Chain A
């Protein structure tokens, strides 16, 4: 069966530089700098990346950062808690927009 997603595509990411190498290089340089140890450790950055990967629902990123987190010494507990943090924000963001819904409904209603 054919699929849009194939795990074998992940290591081919660099091919995105074909035909537009300068733009790709800029992106990869930026990407590398973002994930280097800074005020946040590489492990903390990998945990943020893992969490965000779930909100953007990118299977490549979920694969890469599950491995990345484990290889940076994160535990399954930390990884799961990171997901709950983004889930709380995601859910909270939907709910807080409900205030707009309520305001509009109140204005329209008798």
Chain B
């Protein structure tokens, strides 16, 4: 028996759904600059919307890093959020980090955990970088299915290394957050309950601690989209995302407060539009030309995969 009754109406676009609920998707105050350092990664996770992997050559150059650092100097970003691929594989990551660290109160690095070493862990600690690590499940099976064989064991070792330099340890002042995406075509578990379970199990089984757990739905783009198509799950997954539309989640969507800059300097409203190639709705094409933050009220372009951000409690 279903625990929720699934809507039977014909498919509606995301834009139509917003109109039906009387909601608009426009910018609020922009406070975060997300920096995508490239597609190179040590893993080829099966849910990756960017299709990052070991074979990808796109990597941010020092010149583009300088444009990013300049933008962070002239514009009041409260947070710089560095992602990839695996930022750890970018040769000039330290240059970028040292450049932006004094310019924003909060600098975040999204780590896949397996490309970390002690030198980087100490560098992050020195610069007080917030770490956000992929950690989908509490078991090796679901973790390897999503991220590859052996990733579970390496991730536990990396979490132990991070704890040893103070990350995720109460009172040390350096934040370690985990991100869990479902290992397949289903929605994420509720965040509060999962965080409690992850905290208890990781502590009991491995003596590992962390600060926050975030649970996000997978976005039907890139490698995840290809898998949905191949496995015959696409239609059902899309219906599920649309049926779970929560108008209250729109206010907190990351595209309302964030700009994403790609490895080549191109600007997007979010990392998913970056993956899909839908350019920044505010009109400026490259970070070099960005003279001011987008005005609140600037419209944000939408696409069908936006439903993944508004399902349940949302993707903020």
Contact = CB atoms under 8 A, between A and B. Distances in A.
A58 B1 CA distance: 8
Given A14-B5, A60-B1, A76 B142 contact: yes
Given A70-B184, A70-B186, A75 B137 contact: yes
Interface in A53-89: 58, 60-61, 64-65, 67-68, 70-73, 75-77
A13 B2 contact: yes
A73 B139 CA distance: 11
Nearest to A70: B186
A42 B194 CA distance: 11
B3 interface: yes
Contact of B188 (A10, A12, A37, A71): A71
A67 to B, nearest CB: 6
Contacts of A5: none
A11 B1 CA distance: 9
B193 A43 contact: yes
Contacts of B141: 75-77
B182 A41 contact: no
B2 A71 contact: no
Interface residues of B, number: 21
Nearest to A73: B189
A3 B246 CA distance: 36
Given A42-B190, A43-B193, A70-B186, A75 B2 contact: no
Contacts of A11: 2, 5-6, 8
A71 B187 contact: yes
A14 B186 CA distance: 22
Which residue among A11, A35, A68 has the maximum number of chain B CB atoms within 10 Å of its CB?
A11
B206 to A, nearest CB: 16
A75 B188 contact: no
Contacts of B194: 73
Interface string B120-144: 0000000000000000011101100
Contact of A10 (B2, B184, B197): B2
B189 A43 contact: yes
Contact of A42 (B1, B2, B187, B193): B193
A72 B193 CA distance: 9
A30 interface: no
Contacts of B138: 75
Given A42-B193, A72-B193, 6 more contacts: A58-B1, A60-B1, A71-B186, A73-B189, A75-B138, A76-B141
Interface of A: 10-14, 31, 35, 37, 41-43, 46, 58, 60-61, 64-65, 67-68, 70-73, 75-77
Interface of B: 1-3, 5-6, 8, 137-139, 141-142, 182, 184, 186-190, 193-194, 197
5 contacts: A13-B5, A60-B1, A64-B2, A67-B186, A73-B197
